Amino acid sequence: MSFDVIVSGLNVVDLLVTLPESYTMGRKHEVDNIIIQGGAPAGNGASGMATLGLKTAFLGFLGNNAQSEIARTELNRCGVDTSLMLVDVKSVPATALVEVDAEGERTVFYTTKGYRALQPMDIRPEWFEGVRLVYVDGYDIEGNLALLEMAKERGIPSVVDMEAGDLNQLKNMLKLGSHVILPLEAAQSISGKEDPEQTLHALQKMTEAQLVVTDGSNGSWALSGDVIVHQSCFKVSVVDTTGCGDAYHAAYSYALLQDYPLARRMEFASAFAAIVATYFGGRTYFPSPDEVETFIQNYK
């Protein structure tokens, strides 16, 4: 079986809760919403791409526990194929508690206790047959670096979602990826520069990849040759920012495989992420391509 995209990265189960405007420590409080979903950059990215119509497989480990069942079910609910996932009965997906305040901003507490990351020895060459894109995040770093190397050897484009991690390893990912999307904070850390345009020019000296820097409500920036391309954020009534960056990556990847030019990819990704932000939870709702296009036209 071949896939449009194979995805690897942190496998997470999210418990999301809306916080009341005020509360007393040590007391019980009723809240508006508590939901359990799959989460994390790679998992959310895979879910977004599958919902957009790409045949998407997720790589990684599942165990014999409730978290693993939730993680598998959540991926399958969004149309992600989990047939390539490996089994280690003791492996436990990472678990995150996501607190969402009245403005939709999130605070994340997480644990990786019991988590087993993908390693180079786990990767099977036959996974790459027919694959059009490899998508990895900055976690499961050793396995993901090996995936990027194998993709590059085979001429398969890749999208890298980098957030944080060991600086040297992140620089290696920067060199291996063909499309690297990273938040401004990560771009600043790697480049030593401050504003988005400065970081792009500095990072471009380290890689041949197409670079995109994102900064939430401030939009996203990319270099097209020596020209800076800026995509403003679509203004919406934000309910929850959980998974918005992941949604941007997923939609950018979809647009890449549709052969959209750079500015068009950024516009499509920004609109997709804006719609996701109007729902509670990073996987609660993913718009269709037609819905994204209608949203863009109506916004104009």
Which one has a higher pLDDT value, 177 or 280?
177
The whole-number pLDDT of residue 262 equals 97
Q: List the single range of 4-8, 266-270, 276-280 with lowest mean pLDDT.
A: 276-280
The whole-number pLDDT of residue 7 equals 97
The whole-number pLDDT of residue 63 equals 96
Q: What is the mean pLDDT of residues 73-95?
A: 95
pLDDT, mean over the chain: 93
The whole-number pLDDT of residue 110 equals 92
The whole-number pLDDT of residue 56 equals 98
The whole-number pLDDT of residue 81 equals 97
The whole-number pLDDT of residue 273 equals 97
The whole-number pLDDT of residue 4 equals 97
162 pLDDT more than 90: no
The whole-number pLDDT of residue 85 equals 95
Burial of 206 (0-12, 13-18, 19+ CB in 10 A): middle
The whole-number pLDDT of residue 87 equals 94
The whole-number pLDDT of residue 292 equals 97
For residue 197, what pLDDT band results from cuts at 50, 70 and 90? very high
Q: What is the mean pLDDT of residues 130-136?
A: 97
Q: What is the mean pLDDT of residues 95-120?
A: 88
